[in-house]
Amino acid sequence: MSDPSAPARRSDLGVRAVAGVAMIGVAGLALYAGGFLFWLLVAVAALFMMAEWADLHRAAYADKRLAQFALFVPVAIMAPLAAGPGFLALGLIAGAAFFTVIVTRRPGLAHGIVYVGLPVLALLLLRNQAHGVLLSLWAMALVWACDIGAYFAGRSIGGPKLAPTISPNKTWAGLIGGVLAATVFGALLQPLGLPLHLVLATPLLAVLAQMGDLYESQLKRRAGVKDSGNILPGHGGVLDRLDGLVPVAPAAALMVELAKITW
């Protein structure tokens, strides 16, 4: 007997694929261009992420907008025409979080300022490196590779659930498939100049990406929603697409900064 839901699943997969290719294309173009264009893309994504975070925490409209404005202060300072990413921006992220919790009396919104602000700072720091395109591509695309590998491994293999009480669809096969896909991607970047220690760190960052995904799944379960938003066809909200990058970007930037990479 044919599965009546199969056409719907194929249609959903088609929408996800088209939207995914479009998002990767836009991100790739902005990454290659760097400068103001890359900052603008990251800034817009950050504001959407903050709005979705506030919605997941059931914040009032006024509090949500205040948190977005507070976040935009350090994000604006990171612009190429301003001070750029650095310790000043890091201090302003902390200041924005403190201001938000004082005014709104909602610690969850202050947490959101840090949750969104740190990966923004990290991505801009990576892009500002001498080999910024390669490093930023590594940090961003390893998450994409992990998502793709996890999706297809989980769908085709199935098996024991990874965290059934948090995200019933995620499996151990998906985790392993995602880590393997990210690892292969990292290895492919080594001939292009990615340092060996970053290649070796890629599997660990892939696991971190999966943890970021599970963390956001827990937030959505607590809020009683399937997606953080609906702005991205077939993908939900911006948080849904970038939840894995949130922990990966700061970790990758920290590795680069501590290693004092020289080519």
Q: Radius of gyration over alpha carbons of the chain, in Å?
A: 19
Distances (CA, A) of 37 to 26, 133, 187: 10, 13, 28
Q: What is the per-residue pLDDT for 188?
A: 97
| H/E run at residue 156 | helix 132-157
- Predicted local confidence at residue 62, as pLDDT: 97
Q: Which of 201, 200, 202 is nearest to 141 (CA)?
A: 202
**Residue type at 93?**
I
pLDDT per 10-residue tile (average), the chain, 263 residues: 42 70 90 96 97 96 97 97 94 98 97 98 96 96 94 89 89 95 97 95 97 95 91 83 96 89 48
Q: In angstroms, rounded to a whole number, what is the distance separating the alpha carbons of residues 99 and 35?
A: 29
Give exposure, 85-107, as e/b (b: 16+ Cβ within 10 Å): beeebbebbeebbebbbeebebe
The per-residue pLDDT for 38 is 97
